[in-house]
Amino acid sequence: MMLCCRLKLQHIRPTLLVSRIYQPTSLRDVGQESRQGEMTCKSQRLMQQAGLIHPSNPGCYYYLPATVRSMEKLVRVIDQEMHGIGGQKLDMPSLCSADLWKTSERWDLMGKELLRLKDRHGVDYCLGPTHEEAVTTLVAHQAHLSYKQLPLLLYQITRKFRDEPKPRFGLLRGREFYMKDMYSFDVSEEAAYQTYESVCQAYTRLFARLGLRCVQVQADTGNIGGKLSHEFQLPADIGEDRLLVCGDCSFSANVETMSSDRTDCPQCKTGTLVESRGIEVGHTFYLGKKYSQVFNATFSNAQNKPSVAEMGCYGLGVTRILAAAIEVMSTEEGIRWPGLLAPYQVCVLPPKKGSKMDEVAVLADNLVHTLGEALPGLRGEVVLDDRTQMTIGKRLKDASRLGYPYVIVVGQGALEETPRFEVICQQTGETMFLGQDGLLDLLGRVETV
Ligand code: ATP
Ligand code: MG
């Protein structure tokens, strides 16, 4: 009986069929302005056309299934990097009490950007745009926090709410978006700087793993407060930030932090500063005691005396990273993903129905299963474009717009004595003809998360 069930389960492992994936593609051009009158950009246009996102109200989007797959992958990569530096994941309420925000004085400082609401008792709340207050009060409530437990790095990946004056560019600037926010608690300023440095290194590793060129620039500390701050910027023409980058050394800064007509590098003195635009995908702040003092977040030090913790906070725009990656990697016609984040890695194309190659269709189906069996890393990553009423050419065009890293055309060559498949690597634009072994070898090297 047991054996029978198991066999049955294996038998019904479903093939992922393109016709069944909820990805409502719309070929209609989105144009310069969206329906809501917001500015659009390449990534927004491509994402809407590819059925990745759908607009609801200004600055708010449906994240459709392929986007959720991609985001879940991004979250896994972020989790790996945060765990790597000792981060612990938690989840804080989005509904934040006004009292906390009044304590830090940000209830007034934040102005209209804070989305405010009242509960049935008339008590004021806001929808969390960031969580310094919430996390600091949490840590302050811990009665016996010892210096031996520090550094403490707490982070979450949750929806944030900001009533942006100009939501635009799709997921790049929303009013509701996902952010990874981490908060650190340290025994001393020196230790806090070390933690700050290790978070910056983790961010650099993260962007390298995604294959994104990212520059770390000196930044303004804004209304978050604190003494030291860096932004992680992806150079892109539509970026809203202006950066000054030295041609000779590693110096780079947000224009906000210095006079914008300065052209000589303050670090190496010899290099020339060149202005470029960037999309801010991450931001780190050394906060000192700004919040820990107000909320009384203390630990007991080596002398068993209460001491106020030194803090840092570190944001990553999760949904913004997705859109920004698409913005900088894609062509005007088609999405190109960081390999790790593609919703599906492989798309298999059987021939058009009735094209005297119906037996080939069976081979395509077999190939999908073979790949799944032989390459555990690709389980759930291979889709079969079963829309065989369409020509191969039309489906190839769709595959190019959606940006599967690997497209395999199963055609005449599959019927040869040693079957051969046409493989298109969309990241590089290369086309190859490979036998099954070559294919397994190539796809076996695909990194998934
Ligand atoms: P910006 O200057 O772009 O408005 P910020 O400096 O206000 O951003 P932070 O408070 O530093 O943003 O938030 C941390 C990260 O969250 C940012 O680096 C960015 O990647 C992301 N982020 C901020 N605002 C938005 C938004 N409206 N939509 C999407 N992501 C956002
Ligand atoms: Mg910022």
Q: Which ligand is nearest to the CA of 179?
A: 1
Q: How confident is the model at residue 225 (pLDDT cuts 50, 70, 90)?
A: low
Q: Please name the residue whose Cα sits nearest to atom 29 of ligand 1.
A: 173
280 lines ligand 1 (CB under 6 A): yes
- Regarding whether 382 and 316 lie in a shared domain, the answer is no
164 lines ligand 1 (CB under 6 A): yes
Tell me, what CATH number does 406's domain have? 3.40.50.800
Q: How confident is the model at residue 316 (pLDDT cuts 50, 70, 90)?
A: very high
Q: Which of 43, 280, 284, 314 to mutate to test the pocket of ligand 1 (most atoms within 8 A of CB)?
A: 280
Provide the whole-model pTM.
Answer: 0.94
Q: How many CA atoms lie within 13 A of 407 on its CB side?
A: 26
Asked if pLDDT for residue 10 goes beyond 80, the answer is no
Q: Which domain holds residue 233?
A: 66-328
- Regarding whether 254 and 149 lie in a shared domain, the answer is yes
Asked if pLDDT for residue 404 goes beyond 70, the answer is yes
Q: Please name the residue whose Cα sits nearest to atom 4 of ligand 1.
A: 173
CA angle, 136 as apex, 316 and 284 as ends, to 5°? 25
Per-residue model confidence (pLDDT) at position 308: 98
Reported as a single tens digit per residue, the pLDDT across 46-71 is 999 999 999 999 999 999 999 999 99
Number of structural domains in the chain: 2
Would 99 be classed as within a structural domain?
Answer: yes
- Regarding whether 230 and 361 lie in a shared domain, the answer is no
Would 1 be classed as within a structural domain?
Answer: no
Kindly give the number of the ligand 1 atom that is closest to the alpha carbon of 232.
Answer: 18
Three-state DSSP string of 61-112: EEECHHHHHHHHHHHHHHHHHHHHCCEEECCCCCEEEHHHHHHCCHHHHCHH
- Regarding whether 252 and 105 lie in a shared domain, the answer is yes
- Regarding whether 358 and 275 lie in a shared domain, the answer is no
Would 205 be classed as within a structural domain?
Answer: yes
More confidently predicted of 359 and 327: 327
- Regarding whether 296 and 175 lie in a shared domain, the answer is yes
- 268 vs 431: CA distance, rounded Å: 45
